Amino acid sequence: DWVIPPLNIPENSNGKDQSKTLSYSITGPGADQDPLHIFIVQKDTGDLYVTQRLDREKQDFYKLLIHAVVEDGSAAEEPIEIVINVIDINDNKPVFTEDIFAGEVFESSPIGTVWMIQVNATDLDEPGSDNSIIKYSIQSQDPQKPNSSLFTINPDTGVITVGAAGLDSQVRFSKK
Ligand SMILES: [Ca+2]
Ligand SMILES: [Ca+2]
């Protein structure tokens, strides 16, 4: 959505100017500069088109200048600057910063013991938006002895704690 400033037509205009054909063009990154031709404008109508899928994670806004020129070559109006914001959608999954987070915990550790492990993931979607909120949970535990939920993970911080008694050996923990 954008607002185009009003066009100025002098009073007492006999209308001759209005019969001239305007020719529209756009300049700037995304048009005639790298990345080329993401936006094109229809020369005679001024309709602006996007030619490909936009990726906010590559470029989150474009600033273009729209020029309107009378076809005899004289400038009709000052160029208009428009800013096109690319709205984020949730198209990136969180990715763990490590393939394996490994740690050690003493056997017989009491419930609530903070294991010296905090898993961490990042998400490329817009920071601070709902699209990049990360919640951690444990999907599975191997082996499932002496019970299947020896550990708990803080969904917000990724800190893993001992969630049940009965640790009797060194365990290894992966992202799965
Ligand atoms: Ca996301
Ligand atoms: Ca996104």
The CATH number linked to 33 is: 2.60.40.60
Mean pLDDT of the chain: 84
Lowest-confidence segment of 62-66, 93-97, 104-108, 119-123 by average pLDDT: 104-108
Q: Is residue 9 part of a domain?
A: no
Q: Is residue 2 part of a domain?
A: no
What pLDDT is stored for residue 8 in this prediction?
A: 66
Of 85, 105, 125, which residue is a domain's last? 85
> How many A from CA of 154 to the centre of ligand 1?
19
In this prediction, residues 4-26 reach a mean pLDDT of 69
Indicate whether 102 and 154 sit together in one domain: yes
Of 85, 113, 129, which residue is a domain's last? 85
> How many A from CA of 95 to the centre of ligand 1?
9
Of 51, 85, 119, which residue is a domain's last? 85
Computed on alpha carbons and rounded to an integer, the radius of gyration of the chain in Å comes to 29
- CA-to-CA distance for 115 and 98, rounded, in angstroms? 17
Indicate whether 176 and 137 sit together in one domain: yes
Lowest-confidence segment of 8-12, 34-38, 69-73, 141-145 by average pLDDT: 8-12
Residue range(s) defining the domain that contains residue 159: 88-176
Instruction: State how many domains the chain has.
Output: 2
- CA-to-CA distance for 106 and 112, rounded, in angstroms? 13
> How many A from CA of 53 to the centre of ligand 2?
12
CB neighbour burial string for 3-31, b if at least 16 within 10 angstroms, e if fewer: eeeeeeeeeeeeeeeeeeebbbbbebebb
Q: Is residue 6 part of a domain?
A: no
> How many A from CA of 46 to the centre of ligand 1?
35
Indicate whether 166 and 94 sit together in one domain: yes
Summarised one tens digit per residue, pLDDT across range 68-85 is: 888 776 656 788 898 999
Q: Is residue 75 part of a domain?
A: yes
